[in-house]
Structure 1
Amino acid sequence: MAPWALLSPGVLVRTGHTLLTWGITLVLFLHDTALRRWEEQGKLLLPLTFLLLVQSSLLLYLAVSLMDPGYVNTQLQPQDSAAKEEQTAMVPQIYPVRRCRYCLVLPPLRARHCRECGRCVRRYDHHCPWMENCVGERNHPLFLAYLTLQLLVLLWGVYLAWSGLHFFRPWSQWLRSSGLLFATFLLLLIFSGVAALLLGSHLYLVAQNTTTWEFISAHRINYLRQHPGNPFDRGLARNLAHFCRWPSASWENLWAEDQEEASSQTV
């Protein structure tokens, strides 16, 4: 690995996240919080559970940020029928398929080119700067699991930080003894709010079988621009089945089915 690769945005962001995670955990253990009291009372199960959740959230973060989010294959081999089918993107003929001007491939339905990653991503949701990776078809379920676990850890951390904040006067002395813990409490509170908003919005989008990109930019997307509703919404149960990658029809087939239903209703 070249030395400058260690200074790439991805390495810096993931290293920063890891250091921040363990730094906050260390602050909670070093101050007089419930973690310290549990440890002193011999109640080791709760501190160990907290550490396990922190470690699990960190591993999930690294898994989502490092895995392939669902890149469209750009290396077409003649004998690779799966790649050929993906590249030709068998979308209904009434939908105008456009070749990606960056990858020079015919992307499947719901795919989009990410300029930060330099690749087209299947069922593109968004590019997450905190992950330094796209969220797409392959890692979106894990991303949702990470948000859920991270929110649980953050809320527990908020409680632990608050449990160690013993306010007293003079304030200058309190600030010297508890200033770092108070800053940690505020940081955890902000992160908890952001994680809760992200989790709530993604749960809503999953329930509707849409993506962040489609929800925000429906007026600019060819297959949604002149459509009265969401062509991929098949009810909560089927939407969850699609999201969890159970065997199901392709997005192209769902889109065609919706067009047929719309046509039959207008006749």
Structure 2
Amino acid sequence: MTQPRILSFTRSWKFSSPGESKVAILFFYSCTFLWGYPTYLFWIMPLSLNTLWNAHATFLLGNALMWFLFLKASMMNPGLLPQHTDEYYQAIRQVDYLNYWEEGKILLPRLCHECHLVKPLRAKHCRIINRCVSGFDHYCPFIYNSVGYRNRPYFVGFLTTMCLNSVVGIYLCWNWFNVMGRSIFIGIGFLFLSVIATTSAMMTSLCVYMAAVNLTTAECFKTTKYAYLLDHQGKFFNPFDRGIILNFMEFLHTIKPLTEEELKKAELTLV
């Protein structure tokens, strides 16, 4: 049985993983390093460092934290599952025994014929990286990686700090206008940061909500696709919701998720 492949530094920075456009992440790098930081260092900082030192300290610390969280979310293994498992081949060998399938000992929707494994509950196959990911949430082109069980907290932290940095950047640009007057160059940055702040705030709010109710993005937007999110009457039912405190603790990996056996004991329908 092969072990999950650790996403390497080379993959993240040389973009060797196939199947997805690099436009989003290159746009992010370009805007940040070719415009954002030079503008801040040569225009914004000299003007207000002494008078707004607390805002600058927040901005610098926030950026350091943002890049740490970005690199963690981008470079770490999101929860890749082993390929070519014995369980999968055993399931395939049982295909002729219909009563074996009917008893639910092997669940057809769980078989992944790309990775050759029986997917655990909540695992999904990511078509971009072509691997099954535990607790798959979605693929994000801005971090050039899948978001799964392992790196999801870092991804949400990245969104949160990006929103904070954008808000502080908007404040510093507004101060520029008050002191120096109009500037098309700074004005474009002000509008760009406003869009980033709004977008990242919306995404962060959605991610925090999903963490609070213990759902992934895939599950939240496609509830009817997953039978384990439907009760006996076909209505939405979330078997993973343990209450907001325990949900956040599970999201932050301070407690383990409920096992399928524990869910079955609670008489929940699993598929």
| Range of TM-score over shorter length | 0.7 to 0.9
Structure 2 counterpart of 1:131, which letter? Answer: I
With 60-69 and 104-113 compared, the bigger mean Cα shift is at 60-69
Q: Deviations over 1:144-201 (max 9, x none)?
A: 11122111111101111121125999xxxx5xxx111111100000000010000100
**Aligned position for 2:188:** 183
After TM superposition, the score normalised by the length of structure 2 is: 0.75
Instruction: Give 1:137 deviation, angstroms.
Output: 0.3
106, 116, 120: which one pairs with 2:132? 120
Number of residue pairs matched by the alignment: 239
Instruction: Give 1:18 deviation, angstroms.
Output: 3.2
RMSD: 3.3
Distance 1:199 1:43 in 2: 27
Distance 2:213 2:262 in 1: 14
1:28/1:181 contact within 8 Å kept: no
1:61/1:131 contact within 8 Å kept: yes
Distance 1:168 1:68 in 2: 47
Residue 28 of structure 2 is aligned to residue 20 of structure 1: no
60, 65, 70: which one pairs with 1:56? 65
**Aligned position for 2:114:** 102
Residues 29 and 109 of structure 1: CA distance in aligned 2, closer, same or farther (over 3 Å): same
After TM superposition, the score normalised by the length of structure 1 is: 0.76
Residue 241 of structure 2 is aligned to residue 233 of structure 1: yes
**Aligned position for 1:67:** 76
**Aligned position for 1:159:** 171
163, 182, 197: which one pairs with 2:202? 197
Residues 241 and 97 of structure 1: CA distance in aligned 2, closer, same or farther (over 3 Å): farther
**Aligned position for 1:29:** 41
Distance 1:25 1:47 in 2: 13
Matched residue SS, 2:149:
coil
Matched residue SS, 2:254:
coil
Give structure 1 regions of 4+ aligned residues with deviation exceeding 6 angstroms: none
Distance 1:16 1:228 in 2: 38
Written as runs of structure 1 = structure 2, the 5 A alignment for 1:71-150 is 71-74=80-83, 76=85, 93=104, 96-98=107-109, 99-150=111-162
Structure 2 counterpart of 1:127, which letter? Answer: Y
Q: Deviations over 1:210-259 (max 9, x none)?
A: 11101111111132243541010111121112112224353413532442
Q: Please list every run of 5 or more consecutive structure 1 residues that lacks an aligned counterpart in the other structure.
A: 79-83, 263-267
Residue 232 of structure 2 is aligned to residue 221 of structure 1: no
Residues 193 and 239 of structure 1: CA distance in aligned 2, closer, same or farther (over 3 Å): same
Distance 1:95 1:158 in 2: 55
2:81/2:131 contact within 8 Å kept: yes
2:120/2:134 contact within 8 Å kept: yes
